[in-house]
Amino acid sequence: MENLKVNLDNLHDYIPKNVFAGYKEKAIEANKILKDKTGEGNDFLGWLDLPNEINPQHISEINNTVQLLKDEVEVVVVVGIGGSYLGAKAVIEAISGSFDVFKKERDFPLIVFAGQTLCEDYMADLMRFLNDKKFAIVVISKSGTTTEPAIAFRLLREKLEEKDGKEIAGKRIIAITDMEKGALRKLSENEGYKTFIIPDDVGGRYSVLTPVGLLPIAFAGYNIQEFVKGAVDMEKHLNEYGFDHNPALLYAAARNALYNFGRNTEILVSYTPKLFYISEWWKQLYGESEGKENKGIFPASVNFTTDLHSMGQYIQEGLRNIFETVITVAKPQHKIIVPADNDDLDGLNYLAGKRIDEVNKMAELGTLMAHLDGGVPNIKIEIPEINEYYVGQLVYFFEYACALSGYILGVNPFDQPGVEAYKKNMFRLLKKPGY
């Protein structure tokens, strides 16, 4: 099978060869530090070898859990925030049909999310939606005390127990949490909830290939074996190939070289709405991993061609501190031909007989050319198609490249001390004991 590819052809006018050679050496050194597990944050490298450590028993336990519940409930509410929500959401949205949420007949439950916001109206809408639904809860938290998911879980657990009784509710709540400690672990043991483990050495934003991501993806009806296989094959590819054929090393080196020349904002671009939440997950992955010590590339995203009619103007002619990374999908899943029209009032007969994807690809190429002319360098990431296998490749590729990029930048890619700042102020304002 083909692999994900990275193309740097459009950077030659922006990064001198001698400079890029220096970043090649930095990337190779970062790769050695990562593999040897000698860098900062090396106690959070459980994700690194994770794909190959997921054995058939792990997959079976997840799939069996889904089989036991999928015909009993219409909805599964996944409760979590940050990496405990974005990874699963990103994968499910990428491989789902664009309008699957409106299906009246479905073989697997509808997946909805809670605990990712403190918006009262969102929670009220969700509770009202669940009034006439049979639902289960997958709650994801190492500690069980993170404010947003803890509030959501308290409300949802109370609702489920009131609707179905405590005994049935106990069988419809699954906790993904710490192996030994924390409020959610204690509650799960007290109530007899089915549990899965978040490994101590895997941070939230790197946790898509743990039950944090795999269980919701399986509940949505998708093939987690293929998703894991994509990650396994990408891990193998990254371990076998040297710099010139290693997409993670190429990407990490290129983005840091561009940062060296003042390109401090990276815009992740896709030409399909299916990848919208992949971009959201990517922003957390790179933003939390690199944004510290008053440095780091700011991660932004757009979806084209939609955002060419809004952000396109700024990208073309705004401040020249940006570069683009374009995810291009070689083959769509469906085929639609532009029809001919006798009157041709819209002037589109020149496109008659062409696939919409051909028009989309030409829009992509034309945009790349225009942005290069406008002074915006770009990196191209190509995947053959969007399915479980290639999304698995994409996820592991971005995780690996992120770790390399952080080490090249000179920061610990696995901590996030700044995240606590807002919490301290919020707790003090809410008069939480101890604050």
With residue 328 as reference, give the H or E element that holds it. Answer: strand 322-329
CB neighbours of 108 closer than 8 A, spacing ≥ 6? Answer: 66, 70, 219, 220, 221
Whether the CB-CB separation of 174 and 65 falls below 8 Å is answered with yes
pLDDT tens by residue, 213-224:
999 999 999 999
Residue type, 310: S
**315-353 tens-digit pLDDT:** 999 999 999 999 999 999 999 999 999 999 999 999 999
What was the pLDDT predicted at 110? 96
- Compute the average pLDDT of residues 4-20: 94
pLDDT of residue 264: 97
Question: What would the pLDDT profile of 250-302 be if each residue is shown by its tens digit?
Answer: 999 999 999 999 999 999 999 999 999 999 999 999 999 999 999 999 999 99
Q: Report whether the peptide linkage leading into residue 305 is cis, meaning its omega lies within 30 degrees of zero.
A: yes
pLDDT confidence tier of residue 20, bands split at 50, 70 and 90 = very high
Give the whole-angstrom CA distance, residue 157 versus residue 311: 42
Q: Is the pTM of this model over 0.85?
A: yes
Question: What is residue 14's predicted lDDT score, i.e. its pLDDT?
Answer: 94
AA letter at 141: S
Return the pLDDT at 84.
86
φ, ψ at 338 (rounded to 5°): -70, 125
pLDDT at 425 over 90: no
Active site residues: 288, 309, 423
| Residue 248: per-residue pLDDT | 97
| Domain range list for the chain | 5-39+227-412, 50-222
pLDDT at 400: 98
Helices then strands, each counted (H, E), the chain:
16, 10
CA 322 from centroid of its chain's CA atoms: 22
pLDDT digits 0-9 by tens, 356-376? 999 999 999 999 999 999 999
Q: What pLDDT does residue 191 have?
A: 94
Any idea which fold 50-222 has?
A: Rossmann fold (3.40.50)
- Nearest Cα residue to 270 out of 101, 391, 355: 391
- Give yes or no for a contact between 293 and 342, defined as CB atoms under 8 angstroms apart: no
User: What is the fold of 5-39+227-412?
Assistant: Rossmann fold (3.40.50)
**Phi-psi sector, 215: left (phi>0), alpha (psi -120 to 50), beta:** alpha
The phi, psi pair for 285, rounded to 5°, reads -55, -50
Sign of CA dihedral 339, 343, 348, 351: positive
Q: What is the pLDDT of residue 122?
A: 97
| Per-residue confidence (pLDDT) for residue 100, from 0 to 100 | 87
Provide the residue type at 296 as one letter: G
What single-letter DSSP state applies at residue 339?
P
Kindly state the tokens that stand for 114: 């809670």
User: Quick one: three-class SS letters along 207-231?
Assistant: CCCCHHHHHHHHHCCCCHHHHHHHH
3-class secondary structure, 114: strand
Which residues, at least 6 apart from 70, have a Cβ–Cβ distance to it below 8 Å? 107, 108, 109, 219
User: What pLDDT is attached to residue 293?
Assistant: 94
Instruction: Give me the chain's average pLDDT, please.
Output: 95
pLDDT of 104 higher than 90: no
Rounded-to-integer distance, Cα 214 and Cα 8, Å: 32
Which candidate, 15, 383, 405, 28, places its Cα nearest to that of 230?
383
Which is higher by pLDDT, 215 or 420? 215
The residue among 428 and 407 whose pLDDT is bigger is: 407
Given a cut of 80, whether residue 1 has pLDDT beyond it is no
5-39+227-412 matches 50-222 in fold: yes
User: Which strands sit side by side in the sheet containing 378-383, from one edge to the other?
Assistant: 5-7, 378-383, 322-329, 265-270, 298-303
Residue with tokens 């336990």: 61
Residue 268's pLDDT is: 98
Q: What is the chain's alpha carbon radius of gyration, rounded to the nearest angstrom?
A: 23
